[in-house]
């Protein structure tokens, strides 16, 4: 079950309520559950996500990257849940806070009377600062149930969005090609042919006439001389020879202690005597 909440600044938060099968359930059923969970997480907008539910898994406390403050050892389903959280950039808030086990356990084994952490509140890792309090509610076991309610307080922070305007890419004509007399003649012929096709009606506005004239000139030049290729200047490769000379001069200076080696005024490197 999903709940879509509209926040301010045109942002939203999606709350997902899930219930996973127990450890002894059919493997096909488990795969179907996590496949549906993947599809649900992939279909929601890239805003805040709050995943609630009873996952019937133990994530343990022996995974320093995934769950630092869990309980006991993780089982196979717990590793699967941690893997899914890693794929979607999610984090289990139950394992973040340093607190006593009494405030983390959510389910009691009726026969062994051991408490386990099976219920989780999962959010995106970037929204961890939103969580203020995360703990299980004591006293709920007096209501003849083996589960405890999980209490969480969040202060949702909204990040201001800065919309980027797409800048138009400028393209420059290959003007250097006009140095060739043959190319100049082709451009002149193409311009003469293009300008003859521009209408000269008096009813047309000045702006429309200018747009047609500009388009005709640009198309004619693009078809003949084309656009210039712009390459980023690689200063390191362009000055490779000079850099090599400076390195040789430096190495030679280090091999001759006690002798002063100076550059001449024109910037060249003086020869170093062996």
Distance CA 125, CA 65 (A): 12
| Unique residue bearing structure tokens 């907008």 | 45
Helical spans, DSSP H, in the chain: 27-43, 76-87, 181-196, 206-224, 235-238, 240-255
What local confidence, expressed as pLDDT, does residue 211 receive? Answer: 87
What local confidence, expressed as pLDDT, does residue 270 receive? Answer: 55
Residue 13: CB partners within 8 Å, gap ≥ 6? Answer: 4, 5, 7, 47, 48, 49, 50, 156
Mean pLDDT by 10 residues, the chain (274 residues): 81 86 81 87 82 83 61 79 85 81 75 78 86 76 69 81 63 85 88 83 81 87 82 62 84 68 50 51
What local confidence, expressed as pLDDT, does residue 274 receive? Answer: 46
Among candidates 243, 245, 272, which has minimal Cα distance to 256? 272
What local confidence, expressed as pLDDT, does residue 178 receive? Answer: 85
Distance CA 230, CA 223 (A): 18
In terms of C-beta density within 10 A (0-12 exposed, 13-18 middle, 19 or more buried), how is residue 147 classed? Answer: middle
Distance CA 104, CA 120 (A): 10
So where are the chain's domains? 2-154, 175-224, 235-274
What local confidence, expressed as pLDDT, does residue 273 receive? Answer: 52
In terms of C-beta density within 10 A (0-12 exposed, 13-18 middle, 19 or more buried), how is residue 73 classed? Answer: exposed
CATH number of 2-154: 3.60.10.10
């Amino acid at each position: 079950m999903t709940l879509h909440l509209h926040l301010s600044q045109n942002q939203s938060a999606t709350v997902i309520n899930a219930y996973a099968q127990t450890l002894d359930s059919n493997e096909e059923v488990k795969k179907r559950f996590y496949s549906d969970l993947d599809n649900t997480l992939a279909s929601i907008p890239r805003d805040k996500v709050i995943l609630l539910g009873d996952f019937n898994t133990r994530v343990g406390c022996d995974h320093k990257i995934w769950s630092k403050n869990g309980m006991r050892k993780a089982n196979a389903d717990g590793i699967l849940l941690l893997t899914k959280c890693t794929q979607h950039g999610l984090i289990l808030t139950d394992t973040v806070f340093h607190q006593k086990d009494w405030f983390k356990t959510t389910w009691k084994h009726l026969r062994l009377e051991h408490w386990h952490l099976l219920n989780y509140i999962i959010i995106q890792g970037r929204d961890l600062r939103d969580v203020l309090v995360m703990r299980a509610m004591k006293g709920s076991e007096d209501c003849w149930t083996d589960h405890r309610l999980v209490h969480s307080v969040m202060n949702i922070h909204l990040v201001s969005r800065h919309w980027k305007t797409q800048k138009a890419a400028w393209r420059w004509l290959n003007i250097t090609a006009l140095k060739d007399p043959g190319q100049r003649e082709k451009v002149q012929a193409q311009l003469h042919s293009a300008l003859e096709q521009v209408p000269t009606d008096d009813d047309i506005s000045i702006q429309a006439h200018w747009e047609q004239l500009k388009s005709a000139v640009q198309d004619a030049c693009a078809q003949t001389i084309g656009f210039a290729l712009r390459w980023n200047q690689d200063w390191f490769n362009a000055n490779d020879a000079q850099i090599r000379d400076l390195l040789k001069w430096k190495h030679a200076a280090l091999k001759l202690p006690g002798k002063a080696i100076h550059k001449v005024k024109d910037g060249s490197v003086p020869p170093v005597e062996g």
